[in-house]
Amino acid sequence: MKKDDLITLKIEDLSSEGLGVGKCDGIAFFVKDTVIGDVVEAKVMKMKKTYGYARLMRLIEESPDRVEPPCPVTRQCGGCQIQAMRYQAQLAFKENKVRNNLRRIGGIENPPMEPIIGMDVFNVEDAVAGEKAPAGMEVLLGAKALADGVTPLRYRNKAQFPIGRSRDGRLIAGFYAGRTHTIIECLDCLLGSKVNAWILDAVLKHMEQYGIEPYDEKIGSGLVRHVMIRVGFRTGQIMVCLVVNGRSLPHSKELCATLAAISGMTSITLNSNLEKTNVIMGKDLKVLWGTEYIEDLIGDVRFRISPLSFYQVNPLQTQKLYEKVLEYSGLTGQETVWDLYCGIGTISLFLAQKARKVYGVELVPEAIRDAKQNAELNGITNAEFYVGRAEDVLPQKYAEEVQKKCTCETEKIVGEEQERAGERIRADVIVVDPPRKGCEESVLETMVQMQPQRIVYVSCDSATLARDLKYLGERGYEVQKVCPVDMFGNSVHCETVCLLSKLNIKQHIEVELTMDEMDLTAAEKKASYEEIKEYVLEKFGMKVSHLYIAQVKRKCGIIERENYNKPKSENAKQPQCLPEKEAAIIDALKHFQMI
């Protein structure tokens, strides 16, 4: 087979990027714009040793899962790879993709999967739940999709439109065609809000009127690069951020006056990005009109969102996602939770309502500023946030706390102060929600050292999720449940929530004992303070401090270090272990064969 040959293929599968896969003479061909079940005539474009790429020429037989894509530019635009597929089939494809990655990359033979949580084909007016729909958003789904009831549209609360010129020199806005930087003209993406088109139209007219040039990335000249728009679905507040290759926008007052007339307009900002880069947003931000942020709600929690902060793009599914995270976290109100890659603190604050304490870690300083304000806005006082890379902050905080704890031990600091020392080391639950590349190994390593009961991993890429689950699995964390959540209907992307638990410590220790029993000398039969605490908590439902364990150990004649945990002076007041706690600790010492 060679380039330009015409071949007939039956599409049997989809690649993870959404290309149809069919075989001809044992060679797999990838064909864009096809759906599982299609029989197609395709033209060979590129041949590799064991596979090839072909272009769809003619549909010989339509798959029963094929639907008419409601978007007129779906084939050119890179965004919706599987819009031509019935929504139920999209969900099945995503569920399968997650399962396969966990199997192939994660080595989990039978992933404990829950059914994927799909989107309801919704109506924007329902989405605003009785509140007044913002201007433009009452225009609903494409008629065909609505009639079929198959394809969820208009679910995205955010869009970033590149601005440029068409071949014939007109000012245009739209989306980059798949894998290129050619702009496909499209003011009204069917996944986004209808209001986007009005805003873009106003921006383009303004540029025309005042002779403002779009940015040309090839030569790095021109001014307007992107327009970013966000809509708070529950509040109806609208944000416009103009990203420019400069420090100001000519006649911005006039543009603001036009945009401010759109009902719901809340924030208009100017973002300067002077770099020759693919990264859309620059660091500098200036408010042109209104506030710097908009607000939105997830469940009962109100969030302030700045242009530079991450906020989930599908608010209805986000609520379902966070509810799953809450369920998997198994909170009773007593737990210390770490939320890594926390953004503006959405998961942290959602969980803080049910936890004792939540610590959030996030790279973007603006997001952490939002997170702190969001905690205040909602009267949440048990959440604390740190700016920095999770791979720096977590190991550093952990090391600091271990140090603090050691100091207490060597300086014989007792009582509450000792109890407090090392508080942050305690993590009952760690939630991670990293970007596509997953967690750095140093983050995973520290997580394992912290020994949480549960890890809840939220992932937007099941391949890197599977890689990280393998690492955690090899270190004692077992996958209990996996639930895909579809946040990005019509695209190949899928979010996944995964619950891991620490292998039952009791069983774990018993197994180790039976294996090593023969060699154990009495002196080696020692359990750590954490293991004793854990045992007592699990068996008797009681919390005991290191101090109490030390007191009981001393009573029983097992003293590890001279003066360990003894009061500084004989007269010093020290809390004394209550009899029932003493009995529980003695039981633990017996269990671990220390007495």
Instruction: By CB under 6 A, name the binding residues for ligand SAH.
Output: 310-312, 341-343, 346-347, 361-364, 367, 389-391, 433, 435
Q: Which is nearer to ligand SAH, 339 or 428 (CB)?
A: 339
Least CB distance to ligand SAH at residue 299 (A): 13
Does residue 494 carry a catalytic annotation? no
Spatial separation of the C-alpha atoms in residues 105 and 76, rounded to whole Å: 32
Least CB distance to ligand SAH at residue 235 (A): 17
Evaluate the CA torsion angle 431, 435, 437, 442 in order and state its sign.
negative
Q: What angle do CA 442, 448, 452 make, to 5 degrees?
A: 135
Q: Which helix (H) or strand (E) holds 56?
A: strand 51-61
Q: Which is nearer to ligand SAH, 296 or 534 (CB)?
A: 296
Tokens representing residue 394 in the block = 């977590």
Q: Which helix (H) or strand (E) holds 89?
A: helix 87-104
The catalytically annotated residue of 460, 483, 498, 577 is: 460
Least CB distance to ligand SAH at residue 363 (A): 4
Q: Which helix (H) or strand (E) holds 227?
A: strand 224-231
Least CB distance to ligand SAH at residue 176 (A): 22
As to burial, measured by CB atoms within 10 angstroms (0-12 exposed, 13-18 middle, 19+ buried), residue 323 is: middle
Q: Give the number of other Cβ atoms within 10 Å of residue 77's Cβ.
A: 21
Spatial separation of the C-alpha atoms in residues 157 and 340, rounded to whole Å: 24
Evaluate the CA torsion angle 328, 332, 338, 341 in order and state its sign.
positive
Least CB distance to ligand SAH at residue 594 (A): 41
Q: Which is nearer to ligand SAH, 47 or 387 (CB)?
A: 387
Alpha-carbon distances of 243 from 173, 203, 368, rounded to whole Å: 13, 12, 22
Strand 336-340 and strand 429-432: pairing?
parallel
Strand 383-387 and strand 357-362: pairing?
parallel
Tokens representing residue 397 in the block = 């905080």
Beta-carbon-side half-sphere exposure of residue 269 (alpha carbons within 13 Å): 26
Tokens representing residue 440 in the block = 């750095």
Least CB distance to ligand SAH at residue 353 (A): 16
Alpha-carbon distances of 330 from 207, 336, 400, 430, 433, rounded to whole Å: 53, 12, 28, 12, 17
Q: Which is nearer to ligand SAH, 249 or 325 (CB)?
A: 325
Residue whose Cβ sits closest to ligand SAH: 343
Least CB distance to ligand SAH at residue 362 (A): 5
Q: Which is nearer to ligand SAH, 355 or 367 (CB)?
A: 367
Beta-carbon-side half-sphere exposure of residue 574 (alpha carbons within 13 Å): 21
Q: Print the SS3 string covering 485-525.
A: ECCCCCCCCCEEEEEEEECCHHHHHHHHHHHHHHHCCHHHC
Q: Which is nearer to ligand SAH, 108 or 383 (CB)?
A: 383
Q: Which is nearer to ligand SAH, 465 or 544 (CB)?
A: 465
Least CB distance to ligand SAH at residue 450 (A): 16
Q: Which is nearer to ligand SAH, 199 or 499 (CB)?
A: 499
Would you please indicate which residues are annotated as catalytic (active-site) residues? Answer: 460
